[in-house]
Amino acid sequence: MSGPPGSGKTMLARRLPGILPPLTLTESIEATKVHSAAGEGNGSLLRERPFRSPHHTISTSGLAGGGSNPRPGEVSLAHHGVLFLDEFPEFSRTALEVLRQPLEDGHVTISRVAATLSYPARTMLVCSMNPCPCGYAGDKRRACRCSAGHIERYQSRISGPLLDRIDLFVDVPRLTRDELRGEGRAEGSSEVRGRVAAAREKQTVRQGVPNSSLAGRRLREMCALGADSEALLSRAIDRMGLSGRAHDRVLRVARTVADLAGAEDIAVEHLAESLNYRRSSLADE
């Protein structure tokens, strides 16, 4: 999420666990084991999805795990939950780069002389940042004081390979007066959670795993496209320069958009929405 200070990025991130499906018993046991290995918790079973929000000064071992006495890092402590990185470009590049393998494989492997350890790390990574160092690039009410060079250097702190592993790029604009005052009815988290749970149940019935776990031939089967959608995706690959990884992520997101809409097949509008989530100055780097 990218937007000016005070636009609600952190608030949105903290609400995410509240709209995710409840933990299954298996997921609760797995998450509890990780927290126990890290010396956290009181021994009781975790009932809520973890939400971890480390400070940007965190070390590489603190984020991914390890140390002289190896223990799970924040990415593993967020297993089956949310790992929120606020002020994304302020994290050290070295620390961020270690997230590439866990995001791809769903686990962290730590090799030491005495032993090799593996911790689960199937987490939802959520990041937020300002669009520039001063925070107001593109804002309609406050002028940005940053030069083009400053903005480019700020955004280039995040590597292309890491950005390629992110599914959704969302601009979060400044709130209007009506939104700040809460005028009009807003959809509650419980309503959104019901839709999300229904979509997850639909995926389980259809393919046995969430859409995020689809890969290879199975992904192509579950995300089959019609002629119009196929033509749109072909044009997008050429114009947006999608990598193989980005192509697969676009298909997974389109399948999820269709599930949330209650549709059996991926329509053009579902694929267009998925592609729109990758239209970002960051994603185009």
Instruction: Express each pLDDT in 106-146 by its tens digit.
Output: 999 888 777 788 999 999 999 999 999 999 998 888 899 99
Check which CATH number belongs to the domain holding 62 and give it: 3.40.50.300
110 and 214 in a single domain? The answer is no
Q: Structure pTM?
A: 0.90
Interior CA angle at 172 toward 166 and 173, to 5°? 155
- For residues 261 and 220, membership in a common domain is answered with yes
The number of distinct structural domains making up the chain is 2
Q: Give yes or no: residues 152 and 215 share one domain.
A: no
Q: Are residues 156 and 237 in the same domain?
A: no
Q: What pLDDT digit, counting tens, does each position of 1-53 carry?
A: 999 998 999 999 999 999 999 999 999 999 999 999 999 888 789 999 999 99
Q: Are residues 165 and 96 in the same domain?
A: yes
Beta bridge partners of 126: 84
Task: Report if residue 13 sits inside a domain.
Answer: yes
E strand spans, the chain: 51-52, 65-66, 71-72, 82-85, 107-111, 116-120, 124-127
Identify the domain boundary among 126, 146, 181. Answer: 181
Residues 236 and 105 in one domain: no
Say whether both 143 and 214 belong to one domain. no
Which amino acid is present at 146? Answer: C
Going through 101-199 in order, the beta strands assigned E by DSSP cover 107-111, 116-120, 124-127
At 252, give phi and psi (nearest 5°). Answer: -65, -45
- Its domain, for residue 14, covers 9-181
